[in-house]
Structure 1
Amino acid sequence: MSLVETHTFDTIAELKLARAPVNALDPALCTELRGALHAAVAQGAQGIVLSGGPKVFSAGLDVPHLLSLGSDRHALLAAWEAFFDTAMALAQCPVPVVAAIAGHAPAGGCVLTLCCDYRVMARSEDAARPYRIGLNETQVGLVAPEGIQRLMRRVVGHYRAERLLVAGEMVAAEQALQIGLVDELVEADQVASRARAWLAQLLALPRQAMLQTRAIARADLAVALQPEHIQLDRFIEAWYAPAAQTALQALVARLGK
Structure 2
Amino acid sequence: MIDMIEHGSDIIELRIARPPLNLIDITVLKALRSALAEAEHAGYRGLMLSGVPGMFSSGVDIASLIDADRATVRAYWEQVFLVAIDMARSRLPIFAAISGHCLAAGALLAVFCDYRLMARGGWRIGLNEVQVGVALPACFQYAVRRVVGALNAERLLVFGRLLEPAQALEMGLVDELVHPANLITSTRERLQELLLMPAHGLTETRAIARRDLCEVFADMDVLPLDEFVDAFMLPETQSVLRRVVSQMRRTTLNVTSV
Whether TM-score is above 0.5 comes out as: yes
Name the CA shift for 1:229/1:106 in 2 (closer, same or farther; >3 Å).
farther
Match of 1:249 in 2: 242
Please say if residues 25 and 83 of structure 1, whose CA atoms lie closer than 8 Å, have aligned partners that are also in contact: no
Match of 2:41 in 1: 42
Matching of residues 143-182 of structure 1 within 5 Å: 143-182=135-174
How far does the alpha carbon of each residue in 1:176-199 deviate from its partner, in whole angstroms, 9 at most, with x for none?
000100000011121111111111
Please say if residues 26 and 65 of structure 1, whose CA atoms lie closer than 8 Å, have aligned partners that are also in contact: yes
Aligned match for 1:218, one of 210, 214, 217: 210
Match of 2:196 in 1: 204
Structure 2 residue 70 is the aligned partner of structure 1 residue 78: no
Q: Any idea what SS the aligned residue of 1:67 has?
A: coil
TM-score (norm 1): 0.93
Match of 2:85 in 1: 88
Structure 2 residue 154 is the aligned partner of structure 1 residue 142: no
TM-score (norm 2): 0.92
C-alpha distance in 2 between matches for 1:68 and 1:5? 30
Instruction: Give the share of equivalent positions with the same residue, in percent.
Output: 41
Please say if residues 145 and 229 of structure 1, whose CA atoms lie closer than 8 Å, have aligned partners that are also in contact: no
Per-residue deviation, 1:159: 1.1
Please say if residues 120 and 182 of structure 1, whose CA atoms lie closer than 8 Å, have aligned partners that are also in contact: yes
Q: Which has the higher contact order (CA 8 A, sep 6+)?
A: 2
How far does the alpha carbon of each residue in 1:102-140 deviate from its partner, in whole angstroms, 9 at most, with x for none?
01111110111111000000111xxxxx21111101100
Please say if residues 6 and 14 of structure 1, whose CA atoms lie closer than 8 Å, have aligned partners that are also in contact: yes
Per-residue deviation, 1:28: 1.0
Per-residue deviation, 1:230: 4.2
Q: State the AA in 2 paired with 1:190.
A: N
Match of 1:127 in 2: none
How far does the alpha carbon of each residue in 1:55-94 deviate from its partner, in whole angstroms, 9 at most, with x for none?
110111110001141xx11111010011221122111111
Please say if residues 130 and 157 of structure 2, whose CA atoms lie closer than 8 Å, have aligned partners that are also in contact: yes
Per-residue deviation, 1:243: 2.2
Q: Any idea what SS the aligned residue of 1:121 has?
A: strand
Q: Any idea what SS the aligned residue of 1:190 has?
A: helix
Q: State the AA in 2 paired with 1:255.
A: M
Per-residue deviation, 1:24: 1.2
C-alpha distance in 1 between matches for 2:71 and 2:107? 25
Name the CA shift for 1:245/1:68 in 2 (closer, same or farther; >3 Å).
closer
Q: Any idea what SS the aligned residue of 1:57 has?
A: strand
Match of 1:9 in 2: 7
Q: State the AA in 2 paired with 1:61.
A: V
Please say if residues 81 and 220 of structure 2, whose CA atoms lie closer than 8 Å, have aligned partners that are also in contact: no
Q: State the AA in 1 paired with 2:172.
A: G
Please say if residues 147 and 229 of structure 1, whose CA atoms lie closer than 8 Å, have aligned partners that are also in contact: no
Structure 2 residue 186 is the aligned partner of structure 1 residue 187: no
Q: Which runs of 5+ in 1 are unaligned?
A: 125-129
Match of 1:238 in 2: 231
How far does the alpha carbon of each residue in 1:124-176 deviate from its partner, in whole angstroms, 9 at most, with x for none?
1xxxxx21111101100010110111011001111111111111111111100
Q: What is the root-mean-square deviation in Å for CA atoms of aligned residues?
A: 1.3
Q: State the AA in 2 paired with 1:248.
A: L
Q: Which runs of 5+ in 2 are unaligned?
A: 251-258
Please say if residues 148 and 224 of structure 1, whose CA atoms lie closer than 8 Å, have aligned partners that are also in contact: no
Q: Which moved more, 1:93-102 or 1:82-91?
A: 82-91
Structure 2 residue 149 is the aligned partner of structure 1 residue 123: no
Per-residue deviation, 1:20: 2.4
C-alpha distance in 2 between matches for 1:241 and 1:78? 17
